[in-house]
With several copies, the nearest count.
Chain A
Amino acid sequence: MKLLEYEAKEIAKKYGIPIPQGILIERPEQVNEAIEELGLPVVLKAQVPVAGRGKAGGVKLAKDPDEALEKAEQLFSMEIKGYPVLSVLVEKAENIKRELYLSFTIDRANRRIIMLASGEGGMEIEELAKEKPEAIIKLPIEPEIGLKAHEAREVGKKIGLSGNDLRQFEHIAKSMYKIFIDYDAELVESNPLAITDRGLVALDFRMIVDDNAIFRHPELEAARERELTETEKVAIRYGFFYVELDGDIGIIGNGAGLTMATMDVVNYYGGKPPNFLDIGVGARRDRVKAAVRLLLRNPRVKVIFVNIFGGITLASEVALGIVEALKETEIKKPIVARIVGTAEEEGKKILQEAGIPLFESMDEAAKEAVRIAKEVAA
């Protein structure tokens, strides 16, 4: 779950990390009050839970009040990667001498937390990793002892820091590591972490918290809600996993791997799925019904392809869910199904009686779905 910048910065501040002076506004007009308090120039930053905001035009510098208002209005009218801009963080512009990068994340392969630092901040780390991998210093952390101050300091030296900057870097790294642990984070990142007139300042600060650990951080529930589109919220209510994409062949599968494979097969035969919808483990008819209704209501979806391999999930429950969804909705769309596994026979019977075409293999089913989608589109 991604926190918004201002939320992450509030946490950073609590842990003693220097951040720019800033005020959150929720309407463009409020920018004037903010400027009165902060002075000029200011940086206006759209608060959206996605990376790459800068490139998408979500960060703007303003040198006078008119420019600030104009840019605030621009930002509030934007939508960045599907998220409307509901709030803007107005920050006093800092005098930047140099930009650094610092983050903590999980190194899956080695099953440990790792610190990444670079003397070249500002660029997205993925790009930097491609273009200049030698500029990224990696520090693996022993969980038993945590981040060692002297190792953080040694990294600071490697990225060219000395004197007070070096001391501050050590301090900020320790604070970020503590945040990483205290908040069950998957990522804590400052990019850029800038050297300014007043020392090191975390110009940007990002946090991703483990969704599975939200129960330990109930205060962050709101952030999780916000990250979801309306449809994804419905999905969460019913307990399935839903990601919206472009395309016209609605996919329902069970299990992330099988659902992704189903998308791959549809794609292989020339179709394009508009979503990822995994009904999860042990889905009962209600959940399946909600999933089917969701796709029926999505105007992009021309045909629905249900691909189930029953293990814990009963094929019969899936079949009942599909049939009930069709009965209760006005919208009619063609459905193609392939069902194998636990309670396979019962499930097949239910679908046959409802007139839904059944296939033995996912390849055949996918081909048929692609054919129908093209037919409907034509």
Chain B
Amino acid sequence: MVVLVDENTKVVVQGITGRYGKFHAEKMMKYGTKILAGVTPGKGGQEVLGVPVFDTVKEAKEKFPEINTSIIFVPAAGAADAIIEAVDAGLELIVVITEGIPVHDSLKAIRYARNKGSVVVGPNCPGVITPGKAKVGIMPEKYFTPGPVGIVSRSGTLTYEIAYQLTKRGIGQTTAIGIGGDPIIGLDTVEAVKLMDQDPETQVIVVIGEIGGDAEERLAAAIKRGEIRKPVVAYVAGRTAPPGKRMGHAGAIISMGAGTAESKVRAFREAGVPVADIPSQVPDLVEQVLKK
């Protein structure tokens, strides 16, 4: 078993007729991901990349009842609506690539999804990849290889960087989940790590955190409470970032006293989690753990 996506994942692409949507749908298909349909309101009846486009997710699901996953490329103003639409169509997994969604919209849509039992990954995330099986996301796939490491990351390119460094060392990945950098996200760090923890193939979990929020502190607390049984290795980006400034779209902002890199690193160390100072130390730490 692997986490969230695999060969049984059947995908609808919301926003398939847009530039990014189409570009990445094609890359996903090439990777072997089973994309059955696309949705763009007002473009129902067209065909893109050989798959039919529908006006609504409901119609796509009626035509292809096996669809269980959506990936959303819809522009920010309509992305929350797209999430709600996917939830109402009964999809199990909804990966939201869109960045810049207003936080009040995310609050509403993600709460709705959680109440109805759909898993949302993102928004503002690179998606999920299970190397060799399926990719529901936008990550450059060639830096990921199958293996024993689960990756949970709040970052995009930094995830690729660390996967690449692992892969160069010959350490592959079960699944990598980019949970997204927005203040409000669906699947959070603790939940994603717990999914990895339950996956029999995952032997080590790499957590890539960053400043802002208290996700890393909460994960450390869960580890301390014994809720995670597998070894965890962490890196926290932003030790050099000044407080009170927003670092890019990522919503990495430090406020309310919590969320500094120091606080996160301290919490991890107190929970017995080895923390890399810089990304290149991650493979070393993983190797040490795997050797045990």
Contacts and interface: CB of A to CB of B under 8 A. Distances in A.
Task: Please say whether the chains A and B touch (CB closer than 8 A).
Answer: yes
Interface of A: 50-51, 105-106, 108-109, 111-113, 125-127, 129-130, 143, 145, 148-151, 153-154, 157, 162-167, 170, 181, 184, 186, 210-213, 215-216, 241, 243, 245, 253-261, 263-268, 273, 276, 278, 280-282, 309-312, 340-342, 361-363
A153 B143 CA distance: 40
Nearest to B39: A150
A169 B201 CA distance: 49
Contacts of A273: 240
A186 B213 contact: no
Given A108-B213, A342-B140, A261 B44 contact: no
| Chain B CB within 10 Å, residue with most, of A157, A162, A167, A212 | A212
B42 A162 contact: yes
A340 B164 contact: yes
A-B CB proximity, top 6 nearest: A257-B155, A256-B250, A255-B157, A256-B248, A257-B158, A149-B81
A175 to B, nearest CB: 12
B102 interface: yes
Given A150-B88, A312-B20, A166 B41 contact: yes
B77 interface: yes
Contacts of A154: 56, 58
| Chain A CB within 10 Å, residue with most, of B184, B238, B240 | B240
Interface stretch (B63-71, B108-116, B192-200, B226-234): B108-116
A362 B102 CA distance: 34
A50 B244 contact: yes
A255 B57 CA distance: 31
Contacts of B45: 162
A145 B51 CA distance: 31
Contacts of B42: 162-167
Interface string B139-155: 11001000000000111
Interface in B89-124: 99-105, 107-108, 110-112, 114
B77 A150 contact: no
Contacts of A261: 155, 158, 161, 235, 237, 278-279
Given A260-B237, A261-B155, 17 more contacts: A106-B107, A111-B107, A111-B114, A149-B84, A165-B42, A166-B55, A184-B102, A215-B77, A255-B157, A256-B210, A257-B237, A260-B238, A261-B235, A264-B237, A264-B238, A267-B240, A309-B164
Interface in B8-59: 20, 23, 41-45, 55-58
A150 B211 CA distance: 36
A341 B241 contact: no
B41 A170 contact: yes
Interface residues of B, number: 80
Given A109-B214, A148-B84, A362 B279 contact: yes
Contacts of A148: 81, 84-85, 88
Given A148-B84, A261-B278, A310-B140, A106 B156 contact: no
Nearest to B238: A260
B184 to A, nearest CB: 6
A256 B181 contact: yes
Contacts of A145: 84, 108, 112
B126 interface: yes
A208 to B, nearest CB: 9
A212 B278 contact: no
B214 A108 contact: yes
B278 A259 contact: no
A320 B160 CA distance: 23
Contacts of A258: 155-158, 161, 237
Contacts of B139: 311
A253 B84 contact: no
A311 B126 contact: yes
Given A149-B78, A256-B252, A276 B102 contact: no
A218 B278 CA distance: 41
